[in-house]
Amino acid sequence: MGDLKKQIGNLDDPRMPFNYAEREYGTVPRDTERAPFQWVSEVAYKNVHRIVSRGYDTTELMEQGYGMVDVLFVDFQSRIPSVNEEKMLSYVMLLALEDGLSMPAVISRMVAKSKTFLTQAVGASILAFGHAYGAFSAFGNRLEEYHLEAEKDKKTTAETAKIIVEEHFHDEGFGVSGLMINDPAAKRMFARAKKLGVSGKYIELTEEIVEVAKKKSAKPVDLDMLGAIGATMMDLGFSPEAIWAIIAITRSFASGAHYIEEVERGEYTGFGETLTPKEQYDGHSDRPVPPLKDREKHAKSAQTHSLEEWSAEIEKREQNYGTGYRIHEEIHDPSKKTGIKKIGK
């Protein structure tokens, strides 16, 4: 028979720039000019004796009487806060921890019903803090960007507020809405910040924005909790991203309690168990399934052959929910949409 040349796909094609069969196995020599990969962090380290955050031994912090809120300042800002700063962040976190049967709690409960681990349910609830529900990043980066521009252009706080309202009044996470017309919690947060002496430029700017927005809006609006928390925590020195993380995790404590209650009080839901009555359906009326042999009589191509035909077809498709044709918003990277330029490279 002679030698049979082993052929695999197109690896013996003469156009290949090398002879694949003669390539060595194994790895190339190690590059000694470059340091091997390893995680490096200036946030914290841990050995068998201690955990150290930003240079502080966390056991010693606890033994000295510092609390969890103090360590949030250490972790996110590399500093020990003043007593009043610690009190203010405690105030914010207490108000943010529980929100009743709001979206994060409901999501935690829904996931719980399929018999998951608590951490899975709580993790799902945190995912609800997107740029619509918990837009702390969107709010904070917008405020920060315009404040920096105002300082550069020597604009007053009032002038800056007018520009922000004019350009972003209808944006998500604006911080001013009709959500808290009768609830004084947001305004009381600003009052507490002033009483503790920790209010600053971001609260001042937000208050100006509220007044301009009230004059512009056809409906009653006022400071909402997102705006209150965002501006207050920025005046405490936290970045918009740090605020997002801290508030989402704070709410996760309550989501855990809701998970536990759902498991204790409710029943698990098995795969295929949930029924959806026809009374909850408002789509196309029942229609017979055509025999497969008659497919061509009923099939309709998605292709169009003129601008007018395409436009008419799009209008038809927009009549159906769940197709995506009713969604006219272009989805952008939130970090780009809010003007953030400091994350990544």
Helix/strand/coil for 76: helix
- Give me 67's structure tokens: 């609390």
Beta strand 222-223 with 176-177 is antiparallel
Question: Which residues have a Cβ under 8 Å from the Cβ of 74 and sit 6 or more positions away?
Answer: 53, 54, 56, 61, 80
Q: Which has more confidence, 331 or 301?
A: 301
At 265, is the pLDDT very low, low, confident or very high (cuts 50, 70, 90)? very high
- Give me 307's structure tokens: 């601008």
Instruction: Count Cβ atoms below 10 Å from residue 187 Cβ, excluding itself.
Output: 15
Between the CA of residue 155 and those of 76, 176, 215, what are the distances in Å? 30, 22, 21
Beta strand 44-46 with 222-223 is unpaired
pLDDT at 336 over 50: yes
Classify residue 136 as exposed, middle or buried by CB count within 10 Å of its CB (0-12, 13-18, 19+): buried
Residues 185-209, mean pLDDT to the nearest whole number: 97
- Segments in 197-280 forming alpha helices (H): 201-216, 225-235, 240-265
- By the 8 A CB rule, do 94 and 87 touch? no
User: What whole-number percentage of the chain has pLDDT above 90?
Assistant: 68
User: What whole-number percentage of the chain has pLDDT above 70?
Assistant: 93
At 28, is the pLDDT very low, low, confident or very high (cuts 50, 70, 90)? confident
Tens of pLDDT, residue by residue over 124-152, are: 999 888 887 888 998 999 999 999 999 99
CA angle, 87 then 230 then 237, to 5° = 60
What is the value of pTM for the model shown?
0.80
At 2, is the pLDDT very low, low, confident or very high (cuts 50, 70, 90)? very low
Q: What is the pLDDT of residue 168?
A: 92
Q: What is the pLDDT of residue 345?
A: 43
At 41, is the pLDDT very low, low, confident or very high (cuts 50, 70, 90)? very high
Instruction: Report domain extents, the chain.
Output: 40-80, 82-268
Instruction: Count Cβ atoms below 10 Å from residue 185 Cβ, excluding itself.
Output: 12
> Rounded CA gap, 54 and 75, in Å?
7
Task: Please give the backbone phi and psi of residue 223, each rounded to the nearest 5 degrees, phi first.
Answer: -55, 135
